[in-house]
């Protein structure tokens, strides 16, 4: 079915092919990718867009000695298939299988682990300097998308790299433009010319000769910039100190191979601008690349999704609340760092386009931007994944909390996220949020409570966070009427004896299930901060053992808050803290992962019974 692809297990076999065979390999690789991801789910559009680029990079560069650093890493499936993991794609993102992102411990071809964006240039620069220090001629290549280029870290790295003479190649994979207008025969010819030895030898020679006459050298440089600027958008990257080449058609293997071959021989920082199309070669993904960014199982014939619980996700609950709240309060502003679809803002964007702001992959900016709005009377809601909020911690502390500004953080993907693995797991937000003064932290246990907590946080005159998990909830009926929940007040959901389970957020359901066999009391704590110390004191006085259960790291989490409160209240009741262990938890289904670490009903039951036997 894939006669050429099946002969390629590693890049050295790829490099043995005739260049005329590469288009056939690209066709087979693209077909294999569609068939494979349709059975496992994963990222599709981005991977279809880099098939030719992945082939060309491994064809030209001597990997793994030459380092390829993929930004974000959600577009590395072709790279993985070409580097010994074709058969492993059947277990992509499943427990015990290969990861959906680059992992250094998975393959020597994965030069740098990724999952978050905008790290590639910094990492590749570090590798280029390491090669320079070792006297090695190995190359370092950073492949970064146009979205990831919007983050400040990418520009910090460009600024640093341009001032060095390390042999670094940055490839901008630009898929925000259509291919035809900017890329044609002339542009491809110019890219080959600008990357060729003759041009660069003349360029360096001219600098050496004219270096004795600075005014003439400056005039020559300006003339070169004007000539290149007429046909290429080079000015910005040239100012950073890079030699800009492109743009080139990222789906033309002949142009890619020729250009990369030339560039590999050049010294110093190089910048190659490649134009690609997300979803290239698969019409459903070409027509709707956002929908096929991250997919579950689907029918490869028509692209239709397969399976699904039928219940609304927490993300959908948030999206509906946002529209309803914006209808009631014209001060509401919705902000997302490049995750409109993932965070559920599509309907809000359509209904209130002037109040919707996608700031790009710039989480730090998103929070300070929100803080500025809050200073002048607006009520910003920042929709952000737990793991991405980590990138804006200083802005949360310094710009929002210190000034006690009314900014609501709608924190999606709190807790384990399953197939995306440790780079995307929201394992730490309770721990890193609760130590910040002025913060209110809420943990909804179901969809209706999520809606009411979002309303409560929005009404609160200060910084507030509502953390909710990925995927569907319990399926409870959501009340359209919005009501504030009393600040810092939990509730008893089941009365029992001897043991009290203090559940935070998503852990209420397994806690209730375990409590039936334990005859335990169950409290839905609802707030991590402020903690309901009255309820805590009541439970401590009437039970032999308190058990905290949370889908967050035990270290510094909600259980730690309870321990601190008990100490402050001078209550010496035994306490068992259950939560995520002090390790990065691998990919797999959330259900299996929670069972493996003892956070399902059986695990809670076992842990409590073991503690009671002490």
Show the DSSP H helices in 61-168 as ranges: 77-80, 120-134, 152-162
Length of the chain: 614
Q: Is residue 54 within 8 Å of residue 257, measured between CB atoms? A: no
How far apart are the two ends of the chain, measured CA to CA in Å? 61
Q: Is residue 508 within 8 Å of residue 524, measured between CB atoms? A: yes
Task: For residue 363, indicate whether it is catalytic.
Answer: yes
Q: Is 325 exposed, middle or buried (0-12, 13-18, 19+ CB in 10 A)?
A: buried
In what helix (H) or strand (E) does residue 607 lie, and over which residues does it extend?
helix 601-612
The Cα 174–Cα 37 span in angstroms is: 23
CA distances from 46 to 276, 417, 563 (A): 10, 20, 45
CA torsion through residues 7, 13, 19, 23, sign: positive
Quick one: how far is CA 45 from the chain centroid? 15
Which of 28, 320, 363, 551 is catalytic? The answer is 363
Task: For residue 391, indicate whether it is catalytic.
Answer: yes
If you search the block for the tokens 């068939």, which residue do you land on? 35
3-state secondary structure 507-565: HHHHHHHHHHHHCCEEEECCEEECCCHHHHHHHHHHCCEEEEEEEEECCCCHHHHHHHH
Which of 85, 103, 192, 391 is catalytic? The answer is 391
DSSP state of 305: B
Residues 6+ apart with CB under 8 A from 538: none
Query: Looking at the annotation, which residues are catalytic?
Result: 278, 363, 391
């Amino acid at each position: 079915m894939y006669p050429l692809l099946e002969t390629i297990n590693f890049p050295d076999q790829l490099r043995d092919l005739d260049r005329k065979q590469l288009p056939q390999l690209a066709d087979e690789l693209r077909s294999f990718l569609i068939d494979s991801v349709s059975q496992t789910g994963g990222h599709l559009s981005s991977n279809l867009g880099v098939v030719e680029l992945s082939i060309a990079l491994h064809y030209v560069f001597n990997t793994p000695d030459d380092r390829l650093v993929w930004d974000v890493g959600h577009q590395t499936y072709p790279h993985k298939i070409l580097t010994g993991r074709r058969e492993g794609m059947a277990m992509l993102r499943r427990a015990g299988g290969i990861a959906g992102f680059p992992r250094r411990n998975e393959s020597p071809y994965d030069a740098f682990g990724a999952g978050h964006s905008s790290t590639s240039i910094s990492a590749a620069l570090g590798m280029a300097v390491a090669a320079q220090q070792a006297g090695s001629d190995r190359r370092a290549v950073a492949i970064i998308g146009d979205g990831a280029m919007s983050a400040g870290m990418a520009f910090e790295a460009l600024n640093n790299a341009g001032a060095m003479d390390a042999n670094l190649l940055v490839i901008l994979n630009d898929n925000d433009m259509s291919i035809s207008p900017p890329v044609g025969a002339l542009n491809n010819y110019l890219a080959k010319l600008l990357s060729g030895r003759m041009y660069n030898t003349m360029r360096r020679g001219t600098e050496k000769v004219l270096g004795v006459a600075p005014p003439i050298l400056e005039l020559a440089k300006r003339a070169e910039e004007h000539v290149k600027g007429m046909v290429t958008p080079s000015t910005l990257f040239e100012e950073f100190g890079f030699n800009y080449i492109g743009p080139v058609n990222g789906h033309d293997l002949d142009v890619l191979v020729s250009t990369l071959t030339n560039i590999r021989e050049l010294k110093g920082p190089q910048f190659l601008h490649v134009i690609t199309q997300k979803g290239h070669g698969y019409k459903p993904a070409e027509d709707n690349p956002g929908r096929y960014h991250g997919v579950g199982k689907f029918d490869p014939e028509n692209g239709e999704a397969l399976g699904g619980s039928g219940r609304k996700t927490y993300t959908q609950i948030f999206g509906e609340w946002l529209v309803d709240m914006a209808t009631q309060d014209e001060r509401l502003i919705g902000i997302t760092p490049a995750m409109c679809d993932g965070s559920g803002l599509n309907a809000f964007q359509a209904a209130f386009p002037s109040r919707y702001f996608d700031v790009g992959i710039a989480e730090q900016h998103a929070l300070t931007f929100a803080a500025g709005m809050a200073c002048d009377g607006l009520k910003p809601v920042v929709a952000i994944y737990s793991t991405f909020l980590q990138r804006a911690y200083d802005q949360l502390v310094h710009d929002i909390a210190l000034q006690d500004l009314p900014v609501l953080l709608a924190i999606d993907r709190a807790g384990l996220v399953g197939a995306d693995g440790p780079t995307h797991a929201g394992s730490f937000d309770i721990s890193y949020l609760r130590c910040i003064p002025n913060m209110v932290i809420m943990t909804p246990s179901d969809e209706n409570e999520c809606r009411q907590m979002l309303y409560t946080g929005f009404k609160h005159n200060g910084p507030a966070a509502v953390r909710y998990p990925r995927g569907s909830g319990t399926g409870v009926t959501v009340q359209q009427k919005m009501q504030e929940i009393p600040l810092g007040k939990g509730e008893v959901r089941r009365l029992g004896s001897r043991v009290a389970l203090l559940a935070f957020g998503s852990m209420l359901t397994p806690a209730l299930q375990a409590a039936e066999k334990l005859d335990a009391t169950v409290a839905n704590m609802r707030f991590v901060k402020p903690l309901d110390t009255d309820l805590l004191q009541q439970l401590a006085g009437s039970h032999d053992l308190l058990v905290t259960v949370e889908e967050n790291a035990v270290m510094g989490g909600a259980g730690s808050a309870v321990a601190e409160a008990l100490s402050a209240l001078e209550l010496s009741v035994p306490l068992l803290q259950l939560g995520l262990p002090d390790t990065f938890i691998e990919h797999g289904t959330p259900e299996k992962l929670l069972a493996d670490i003892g956070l399902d009903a059986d695990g809670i039951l076992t842990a409590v019974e073991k503690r009671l036997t002490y």
